[in-house]
Structure 1
Amino acid sequence: MSVLKRRGLVLGGGVALAAALIETRHFLHPQRHVTTDGKIRHVRLAWPEAAYDPIYDLCRNDLFSRFSLDVELADTSSGNMAIDAVRSGRADAAVAPILDWIPALYTSRPDQIPAKLVSSVNGGSYRLLVRRSLHLHKVSDLAGKRVGVRDMEGADRRFISIKLRRRGMHPTDSVNWIAMPNDDMAGALRTGEIDAVAVHDPAGWQILQETKGLTWNMIDSMTSAERERVDLALGIASGRLRDDPGLTSSLILALRAAAKSFPTKRAELAKQMQEDDNAPSDPRGMLDRQIGGHVVIGHDLRVQIEQYIDELKLIGIMRDSDNTTQIAHMLSA
């Protein structure tokens, strides 16, 4: 089975107004039917691994159309590829990990940032799966071990590198990182070619199912304080934001509706996945462990971005001298 910066006061004010309206309607009128301006909008959206993302599934089923969105899914398989789709003009918006968004946008000229982060989408599903036979009980035991990862410049590796650094280990040199496709990870764990893998669901869940009894979850982002953090974020191309600020409202409202309905839709979504031969094994088990929609905007989103910027400083991707708050404002709308 296959494993799966600043455009000006006008733009900033427009997006801020849209966000304020969304917050007001959502919190002050929770039972009120919220509508957009009624304009039908075509949007090319890059959303990696969308087929097995419950929030995307709920949006696709009827929420995009409810908020007058005609969504064309751009073909991408990773967060960095989704961001590249926006940079190259192949997509108007993208959903990708904040750990991918920040380095990608940060390296752009301040007056030429290709996209702005407007909302989070959900919490993370990162996993570090470790071979049980090694008897590794704490993160420091990983020193010198071989860790498989799909993308050496991706969010999976960055998430685990942050955890290593927080425990006094070198974020990149303390373990032996080995690049490999997700599809090869379960077999490499079985044969002992690697000692652990840094992944995220749905691939992480599938590998865990294929190596039952052989691996365990040493680190993940679905327990303890990590559950309160966001992972995937929606970024919209700066030009599209300037020309059509109403798009932000429509997309955020769809995401909010999906997040609200997710807890009651797990069984239905799992059943849909079971009908797909390429879906992860035991989709209900995977969905029961997922955090689901975690949609924050405005100040709350910037606070989360700031936390990630500070962590990226820990692993040398951002400079210690960088102004965290200024960068978070520059990257978000």
Structure 2
Amino acid sequence: MRFKGLDLNLLVAFDALMSEGNLTAAAKRINLSQPAMSAAVRRLRLFFKDDIFTPRGGKLVFTPLALALFPAVRNALQHIQQNIISGPSPCAQLRCRHFRIALCDFMTTVFLKRVIERVASEAPAVSFELLPLPDDPDQLLRRGRVDFVILPELFAASGHPQATLIEENLELVGCASNSKFSERMSIREYVGASHVTAKTGLGQPCSIEDNYLRRLGLQRRVDVIVPNLSMVPAAISGTERLAILPSRLVREVASSVPLRVIDHSIGLPRYDQAVQWPSLHDADAGSAWLRHIMLEEAKNLDEAWPRTEQAPGIGNKGHFLRR
């Protein structure tokens, strides 16, 4: 079908190409053969009088015009899907909706499980796919490859809507049986100890605490590196090693892995968590519905477990943690 000289099918091909960033993957996404996809690209170039992309180093580098057109094309296709194909009813838009969310294990454990439980009750046909945090969240958001990214606020990608979910502190912890550190720990003592750390993506070559120490010209000794925060407590159990963990995660695991929160003068940064979504999805009713639930559950979590309030069974700094 043509509209003022433009074959509207080309917009579907354009959207797939921009979303996938790869000709073969784009063709597969919309069930086109490779020659048909190549023909669609030629016609797009002819209509817009623009190359659309150039291959470089095995990747497609899109032109400024293509990047400028993408949000408008995506919004138009989403509008057709939501208001013409699915119908305007919010219930119809949520029927069999599948949300893709990138986040770390910590936020799955302390927060998103509450959202999933509520959605299972209110809209049981909705499904989720949870992904690890990528090195470049902006790429996923810009191409609309995920519905949401939940990440530390200081790593939020620019140019995309966001909202703060929870305020969070970082705690210095050791094994509950570790009586070596009983006094307030100085930063020099901290650096001189042995440590466990987690790498959680976001393109960071080192952890938040290591970045902080590097700015001070200091470096600590890391004995164990794990791929996610939830593995840290087990890695310090039965040892004299130290770790930095979000306070809510410390409280969450206290019943299974007793930990000691250690008083210190390190000056750790905040670890507030935010949710971001593609600007392409800002007007999407399903996205807005789930955002509303996330913000409500974040408020409920703060009321149940405030950042500054200690969980049951947790004493002052330096005491054991048991729930």
TM-score bucket of the superposed structures, by smaller chain: 0.3 to 0.5
Q: TM-score, normalising length from structure 1? A: 0.47
Q: Which has the larger radius of gyration?
A: 2
Q: TM-score, normalising length from structure 2? A: 0.48
Higher normalized contact order (CA 8 Å, seq sep 6+, divided by chain length) = 1
Higher helix share: 1
